[in-house]
Structure formats: C-alpha cells, structure tokens
Structure 1
Amino acid sequence: MASQNVTDIIERYLKALLDAEEEVEIRRAQVAQRFDCVPSQINYVIKTRFTPERGYVVESKRGGGGYIRIVKVKMRTDCDLVTWMIEQLPSQIGVQDARLMIQKLYDEGIVEQQAGNMMLNVLSHQTLNVADADTEGRLRARLLLSFLRSLQYERTH
C-alpha cells in the first residue's frame, strides 16, 4: 500500500466534513493536533486545496476565539458561475489557478474541450513569454477576465 501524504489526508478529512455540511468551521490547532502536524500544515492545505477556483470560499478569524470557515460554493446557473469567477478573479493569477478555473468551466459544461484548450494555450507561460512573473500574472488575469466576460455575455441571450 502506498504511503499517504498528510496533506492529502487532511484534504480528504475536510472534504468529508463538507460532504455532510455545506459550511464547516474548524480550529486550526485542533485539526493539527488530530493529524499530529504543525498548524501551518493546515494553512497550507486550506490555501492550496480550498480555493475559489476549486469551488470554496474560506473565511478566518484570528485570536483566541479564532476559526477557519470553509464554505462549499454552489452555483445555480452557468451565468452565476461565470459572474462569480469574474468577481473572485485576482489582479494576477498563476498558470495552475487559471487551469483550475478553465477546468471548472469545462466540468460545468460552460466551455467545450476545444475552447478550453485554446484558453489554456493562450494563458500558458510559453505563449505569454514575459520575463517578469508579476507582469505575466497580471496579463494572464486580464486575458482570463476577457474570456470570462465573453462567456457571460454569450449566456445572457
């Protein structure tokens, strides 16, 4: 049996909680203690595996009564998903996060495979070919925003 990565185990645990409830509230230290890891490991899992691009919204409150709330986002219609993505799109975005967003659009039937692949090609590091990572991330975000807006308008007719 292959050894399991603690990050994957924590992700599965949190997703199991979210299967039972659309929203969960956890205390970072308690989850870290449960999995015998450092609290920063919990932060890493939440930051990388529970992102808006993957359909989650995370809220947190620091301090003694602090918590981390993870909400599984449900979309009612295609247009709602596109609108939500537009609202959540950061001013710069990496290739992997852009890929996850496009995959979500494909999974929801908003874009077909060919259109998704074209979007991925346009947003790739090779195509953008910008030496500065920040500039590339901003350019990728602007292009993705343009794609999303065109999808939004196509869906409203």
Structure 2
Amino acid sequence: MAGLTNDIEQFLLSLLEDCSDGSLEIGRNELAQKFDCAPSQINYVLMTRFTPYNGYYIESRRGGAGYIRIVRLSREPHSLVQRILEDPGLDQLTTDKCKHILTALEDQGIISREAMWLMRLATDDRALRGLENNERKMTRARILKNMLLAYVK
C-alpha cells in the first residue's frame, strides 16, 4: 500500500507544480478511478501527506459534484512555525505527532537535521518517563512550543 500512497502523493505534487497559483482542484472519485483504489485511500494520502505541517491546506466537498482542493501554504519558516504555535490542538501531543511535525519542519528546511533530532530526543517518551500519559502529552507540547519559539527568535 505504501507504493500506492507514494504514487498518489507524487501525482498530486506534480499537478500542484503545474498550478501557477499554488492551488489544485480535483475530483476525489476521478482520482480514485485513475489509481484503481477506494476514495478512502485518497483521503488517507490527503490526511497524512498534505497536512498544514507539511505546508498544505485541504478543502473538500463530498457527493456527486465533490472535489478536493489542495492549497500550498506559505513556505516562510516563521509563518509555518507560527501556525504550529497557535494550533489549539497542540496543547497535548503524542510522540508520533511530534515526530511528524519535526520531520516536516526538517524536510522543508526550517530546522536542521541536528535540531530535529535534538527536539525529538527532548520530547521522546523516555525523556518524559515518570509522568502520566496525559501529563506527558501536555509537557511534550509545551517543550516543543518552547523550543520552536527559541528557534525562530
């Protein structure tokens, strides 16, 4: 399945490259037919590969005339970090979500590979052992936000 997911992602990225305004609109069902997969596979690609942390915003409408609109967000480092810092959903953060955010920041050249690894180690479950699960998630979110604040200053 990873091959199909990568193929769909690469196809969408190539279409986005051809869009002068950084916005792509495409039918979910048409895309599923092209790749001979279920529309839920398209949803999976959108939810995991085209996230705000990766620099994208998704609009979607379901139904017969449904569509997917992928909008490339500003690639300015401070703008993306600011969105992360202001995200109300980030008062609790799992290890996997934290890794995903840090990897996306490193992939986009906003933080160095070394900084990404240091931040991952500082927010890892081993570093936060001794805390209850919810407390660990809240502490991880605060640590990540503080490190990102220090990084962009």
Q: CA RMSD in A?
A: 2.6
Per the normalisation by structure 1, the TM-score is 0.77
Cα distance between partner residues in 1 of 2:17 and 2:33? 22
Cα distance between partner residues in 2 of 1:45 and 1:105? 19
Which amino acid letter does the alignment assign opposite residue 10 of structure 1? I
Which amino acid letter does the alignment assign opposite residue 125 of structure 1? D
Contact 1:89 1:145 in 2 (8 A): no
- Unaligned runs of at least 5 residues, structure 1: none
Deviates more, 1:46-55 or 1:111-120: 111-120
Cα distance between partner residues in 1 of 2:94 and 2:101? 11
Secondary structure in structure 1 of the residue aligned to 2:140: helix
Contact 2:55 2:75 in 1 (8 A): no
In structure 2, relative to structure 1, the CA distance for the partners of 1:107 and 1:6 (3 Å cut) is closer
Alpha-carbon offset, residue 109 of structure 1: 5.4
| 1:35 matched to 2:35 | yes
Contact 1:93 1:141 in 2 (8 A): yes
- Unaligned runs of at least 5 residues, structure 2: none
Secondary structure in structure 1 of the residue aligned to 2:89: coil
| 1:79 matched to 2:94 | no
Alpha-carbon offset, residue 112 of structure 1: 4.4
2:144 is matched with 144
2:6 is matched with 8
Trace 1:15-30 onto structure 2 (pairs within 5 A): 15-21=13-19, 22-30=22-30
Cα distance between partner residues in 2 of 1:34 and 1:12? 14
Alpha-carbon offset, residue 15 of structure 1: 1.0
Secondary structure in structure 1 of the residue aligned to 2:127: helix
Cα distance between partner residues in 2 of 1:116 and 1:102? 6
Could you list the structure 1 runs, at least 4 aligned residues long, displaced by more than 6 angstroms after superposition.
Answer: none
Contact 1:52 1:88 in 2 (8 A): no
Cα distance between partner residues in 1 of 2:62 and 2:137? 29
> Could you give the per-residue CA deviations for residues 58-97 of structure 1, whole angstroms, max 9, x where no partner exists?
1222344332211122223x32232132234633333333
Alpha-carbon offset, residue 50 of structure 1: 1.0
Secondary structure in structure 2 of the residue aligned to 1:128: coil
Trace 1:8-157 onto structure 2 (pairs within 5 A): 8-21=6-19, 22-76=22-76, 78-88=77-87, 90-91=89-90, 92-106=92-106, 110-129=110-129, 130=131, 132=133, 135-152=135-152, 154=153
